[in-house]
Structure 1
Amino acid sequence: MSQYLSLLLDCPVVIAAIFITGIGGTFQYGFSVSVLTSPSEFIKELVNQTCLQRYGVSLDKGQVSLIWSFIVSIFCIGGLLGALMAGPLMSKYGRKQCLLFNNFTAISGALLMLLSQKALSFEMIMVGRLLYGINAGVSLSAHTMYLVECAPKKLRGMVGVTISTFVSFGKFSGQLLGISELLGTEQNWPWLLGFNGFTALLQLATLPFLPESPSFLLLNRGDREACDKALKRLWGNKDYTWEVDEMMKEKAAIQGVRNHSVMELIQNKNIRWQLITILVTFIGLQLCGINAVYFYSFEVFRAAGIEEGQLRYAALGTGLCEVVTSIFCFMIIESTGKKVLLFRGYMAMSVTLVLLTITLFLKTCISWMPYCSMLLLFLFIFCFASGPSGIIAPLPGELFTQPFKSAAYTLACTLNWTGLFLLGMLFPVLVEHMSYFCFLIFLFFCTGCGLFVWFNVPETRHKTALEIAADFDKMHRKSGESKKQSTEQDLNGSHQTRF
């Protein structure tokens, strides 16, 4: 681990890129996910006041809840739109420019949030949430692709984990700033909702000093000189000839091949297992039960005897646990391997879900059982953040070559946003009918994803997309093929026809 950390410390511009892209990238997503919990009652009151003053109508509880649900879920709709836009924008304008101009979307949303209370308009919050969603949808793809392409191959796993670290940090920041001692008050909640604008301004002021992705400059624009300059700024005076040679091999393999659409990605049989891997892992990311665990955290804390007024402070512990564990994953990923961490994480989550269901069932029978539930809750978050959370986000950029990357990220993020939206709509129904036994559904997805990764996905650490494609071929080679034939295919550059 120390050698990889030392290598990263020798690349200060890469470290700067991690923080600059993170604060205006996936931080926005994490913050927007958690920030509405604290000011929910104030926003519902604004909804009622708006209708009363504008139409002379006082809404009942059900009507207010319906509008509130739409305010929450419209973020996912915006995220889906942003995910669909991200691929074409990144392919045409580049990763850096896409991130740069995406900040204006967040700033526009923040201004609407800040003015909503004075304007007495909950519709401004809806539009602001939609813009925040578009911003998050674009940044999830652009931030991930930019960082993975800017990092040396030996550090891509470590750098990739920071993407989920900033998601966790965003969630924790939303929880922290939402407490009543800070911005979670009747007067200050618009500033809480508008906080995304300040992080967008920070990125807008600092991102222009970073270079464009070297991979994009060479493979998309064919500018070798600009690629060399970008690599020199990012990695210093180190010898990066090997990485450039690998990019040139990929460039030769994709010579004359344009960027592919999502439909072409789906139809290409030569990359079928890479596509299946993206489908399984990103669906599993939403259906692994992490949102259910966060939902039940308040009930577990109540059962453990924590007072109602202190629940939000206890919930801060869950967010902090995810941040700390993500940093732990950052430290060990290069020495342990991504496949092992992903498999261990899912299997440990499966066991934890079983035990958590049992302890919740017995909480009224045994006095100390709620404390066991609380311990298991933190253990589940630890398993999630040390495996799936940090490894899955960068996968599309690792498994696919340049012509397919944008489409792969578009598809992956579309799955992510669709899953988040459906889970938000269906999860309350599951809880109502199944209570904590809903964890058994998530258990199925955790176990299934873990076994799929172990038996069907090769290790991706320190490998290029072409090398990973060869490993997929070897792992899923038809039984009738001889070893000699597959070796000849590799030597004859079969991947050129693939891409």
Structure 2
Amino acid sequence: MEKPQENKQGVRKNTQRVQGSPGTERKETKSPQESTDSTPKGIPKTHSVAEPVAKAHPSKTKLPKKLIWISLISTFLSMQYGYNIWIVNSPTVLLQDFYNISTYEELMDPDSQTFMMSITIALFPLGGIFGALVFGYCADRFGRKGTLLITNILSIVSAMLMGLSNKVQPFEFTMFARVYTGMCTGLVSCIIPLYLSEISQTSMRGSFVMMHHLLLTIGVVVARVLALRELLGTAEGWPILMSLGGIMPLFQLGMLPLLPESPRYLLIQKKKEEDAVEVLKNLRETEDVEEEIEEFHQEANFEKTEKKINTLKLLLRSPNLRWHVLTIVVLMLGQQVTGVNAAYYYTTRIYEAAKVGRDKVRFVTIATDTFVSFSTTLGVYLVDSVGRRTLLLVGFGICSVTCILLSITMTLQDIYPFMTYINTVLDDVFLIGHGFGPYPVPPLIVAELFLQSSRSSGFVIAGVLQWFFHFITGVTFLRTENRLKGYIFLIFCPLCIAVFYYIFNFVPETKNMTFLDIRKLMAIQTAKRSKVKVHVDK
């Protein structure tokens, strides 16, 4: 029996290759169980996804401290993302913006002001679309760490532009600053979950990727607190408030030398196995990374037909990935167009109707955002135990029910004053449910549905869709709300139910599975659906 050879890093290279890969040296006799395997043709049979997942290696079950610190440092940009969402994009602060609408006579009309506010809201996600479009090129050309460097530099410039918005009087400058800030945020929304998914362990991948959204919600809370008029929420303090978002990327830029490149990117895309092994040993705090390196090799062999696949090919000429792309479309639609903007917009109004003083409402909304952060924290804790599907189904189920109830209670609050108190509870429940699954889980699903060389293209599609739907809701929400009032939730309810139905029937559970196993599972499900379709046609 030939002994496995060892390379310089102490990682054994198996002489036996995965079935169907180049360099196969011997044939294997199939057992009866293997001969009846239902895996579609062309899928390497490393092991069946239908079988129980093998017991995790000790190095995979323990939680390396270095990985935790690296993940926290990388998510500081996520905190700026949340900070910008509220400071730059929230309708509740646009009246304090430096457009100074009252100085333009043509904008004294309320409808004109509403139109200008809608345009202002739309500029931020419009920039996000541009950022997502260039992300794929940056991630594959400069690497994950190189893209982090670029994003940090651009984000620091973004904070400087926003801080100068009140000094440069033409409102065109403010428009440009918002588009530019949106572009930086679009990059952040893609690179952080992608990077976290590629450096984390399989058994804890969900928790690490969802840290992106957890830091985002913390950024929103920080922005709300600093925007209090007792702190920086004044005309004098507003420029400082707008520019403080630059602290997060400045800090990460200083810590960037401590962050490693993605080991998957190094081995699978750059063919630098020695560097990948060293990075992986450092991340796992162990010398025994052979099993994970072998998994990288298996993925590299499997995805040879997908290498250097661009976004357009992924959309139009990859029949094996159509269900993956459709799943992204549905999840991004559910993330952005399920009423979360309406819920945030009505938070202040609902509490004021409940006779909470205007001065106290500010603190109540901060408390609401804090509860949303706790909800996301619970999701981070549960995602790798109860699963992704459970979080999504529970979250969209809560959103569906509360949309119906809010439509009823907000209509009746003029007749029955006590309904305002029920509205406050329902609004908070909606936001907590949305923060539990529908918002943080989709980026994780995007990372898991694609293999290494096509993953960046998957994030491009997801990012463009996320910011496009955000753009559409930003442009249309205020005008639609002026006409429908509380009935606006009736628009979002069918969407929530439709997304719930799709997830329940078509989205598989992916917890504790490698990227390759997830791909094989999707291939099996796609093959089964194709057989059913052919049978029905006959």
TM-score, normalised to structure 2, is 0.83
Distance verdict in 2 for CA 1:92–1:121, change over 3 Å: same
Are 2:464 and 1:414 aligned? yes
Matches of 1:393 and 1:478 in 2, distance apart?
26
- SS where residue 164 of structure 2 aligns? helix
SS in structure 2 of the partner of residue 229 of structure 1: helix
Residue 160 (1) aligns with residue 209 (2) = yes
Q: Which amino acid aligns with 1:31?
A: Y
Q: Does 1:75 align with 2:124?
A: yes
Q: What's 1:438 paired with? A: 488
Aligned pair in 2 of structure 1 residues 358, 58: CA closer, same or farther (>3 Å)? closer
The Cα of 1:450 is off from its aligned counterpart by: 1.1
Matched to 2:414, the amino acid is T
Q: What residue in structure 2 maps to residue 148 of structure 1? A: 197
Query: How far is the alpha carbon of 1:257 from its aligned partner?
Result: 4.8
Instruction: Map 1:181-330 to 2 at 5 A.
Output: 181-237=230-286, 239-255=288-304, 257-267=306-316, 268-330=318-380
Post-superposition offset of 1:68? 4.4
Query: Given the alignment, which residue of 400, 407, 411 partners 1:350?
Result: 400
User: Is 1:95 aligned to residue 144 of structure 2?
Assistant: yes
1:11 touches 1:234 (CA, 8 Å); kept in 2?
yes
Q: Partner amino acid for 1:43?
A: D
For 2:228, the equivalent position in structure 1 comes to: 179
CA distance in 2 between partners of 1:348 and 1:187 (Å)? 41
Partner of 2:426: 376
Give ranges in structure 1 of 5+ residues lacking alignment: 52-56, 483-499
Instruction: Report what 2:33 is aligned to.
Output: none
Which amino acid in structure 1 is aligned with residue 79 of structure 2?
A: F
Shift of 1:47: 5.8
Task: Report Cα offsets for 1:390-418 as digits up to 9, x if no partner.
Answer: 21112221001112111110000000000
The CA distance in 2 between the partners of 1:480 and 1:293, in whole Å, is 40
Aligned mate of 1:14, from 67, 84, 87? 67
Provide the rounded CA distance (Å) in 1 between the counterparts of 2:287 and 2:206. Answer: 20
One-letter identity of the residue aligned with 1:28: Q
Aligned counterparts of 1:460 and 1:282: Cα–Cα separation in 2: 18
Whether 1:126 aligns to 2:178 is no
1:40 to 94, 103, 109: 94
Give the CA deviation at 1:198: 1.3
Q: Say whether 1:460 aligns with 2:513.
A: no
Amino acid in the other structure paired with 2:264 = S
Are positions 1:27 and 2:75 aligned together?
A: no
Greater shift after overlay, 121-130 or 459-468?
A: 121-130
Determine the C-alpha separation between the residues in 1 that align with 2:190 and 2:66.
21
Greater mean alpha carbon deviation, residues 309-318 or residues 332-341: 309-318
Match of 1:60 in 2: 108
Residue 340 and residue 121 in structure 1: after superposition, are their counterparts in 2 closer, same or farther (change >3 A)? same
**One-letter amino acid matched to 1:128:** A
Aligned-pair identity (%): 28
Shift of 1:367: 2.8
Letter in 1 for 2:485: S
Partner Cα separation in structure 2 for residue 266 and residue 446 of structure 1: 25
Q: CA deviation at 1:470?
A: 2.1
Q: 1:173 to 1:353 in 2, by over 3 A?
A: same
CA deviation map 1:227-268 (0-9, x unaligned): 111112211116332221111101112337532111211121
Match of 2:409 among 331, 349, 359: 359
Is 1:363–1:369's contact at 8 Å kept on the other side of the alignment? yes
Higher deviation after alignment, 73-82 or 118-127: 118-127
Residue ranges of structure 2 left out of the alignment (5+ in a row):
1-55, 533-538
8 Å CA contact retained: 1:17, 1:147: no
> Distance in 2 between the 1:228 and 1:174 partners?
40
Is contact 1:172-1:319 (8 Å) kept? yes
In the TM superposition, 1:479-498 aligns within 5 A as none
2:439 match: secondary structure: helix
- Mapped to 1, the partners of 2:61 and 2:303 lie a distance apart of 30
Query: What SS does structure 1 have at the residue aligned with 2:356?
Result: coil
Residue by residue over 1:64-87, the C-alpha shift from the partner in whole angstroms, topping out at 9 and shown as x without a partner, is 655544333211111110000001
Separation of aligned partners in 2, 1:18 and 1:440: 39
Deviation, 1:113, is 2.3
Query: Partner amino acid for 2:108?
Result: D
- How far residue 44 of structure 1 moved from its aligned partner, in angstroms, is 4.3
1:77, 1:133 within 8 Å by CA — same for their partners in 2? yes
Where does residue 110 of structure 1 map in the other structure? Answer: 159
Specify the SS of the correspondent of 1:35.
helix
Higher mean C-alpha displacement, 77-86 vs 433-442: 433-442
Contact 2:348 2:361 in 1 (8 A): yes
Q: TM-score, length-normalised on structure 1?
A: 0.89
How far apart, CA to CA, are the structure 2 residues paired with 1:430 and 1:208? 48
Rate the CA distance shift 1:374–1:257 in 2: closer, same or farther, 3 A: closer
Is the 8 Å Cα contact of residues 164 and 393 (structure 1) preserved in structure 2?
no
- Relative distance call for 1:192 and 1:479 in structure 2 (3 A) is closer
SS of the equivalent of 1:118 reads coil
Going from structure 1 to structure 2, the CA distance change for 1:391 and 1:261 (only over 3 Å counts) comes to same
Structure 1 residues 427 and 41, CA, compared in 2 at 3 Å: closer, same or farther? closer
- One-letter amino acid matched to 2:349: E
**Counterpart residue type for residue 14 of structure 1:** L
Q: More deviation in 115-124 or 280-289?
A: 115-124
Q: Which residue of 1 aligns with 2:36?
A: none
2 CA distance for matches of 1:476 and 1:375? Answer: 41
**Residue-pair matches, total:** 472
- The answer as to whether partners of 1:8 and 1:14 remain within 8 angstroms in 2 is no
Aligned-partner Cα distance in 2 for 1:480–1:91 = 33
**Letter of the 2:313 counterpart:** E
* Structure 2 match to 1:487: none
- Cα distance in 1, alignment partners of residues 530 and 175 from structure 2: 57
| Paired residue type of 2:373 | V
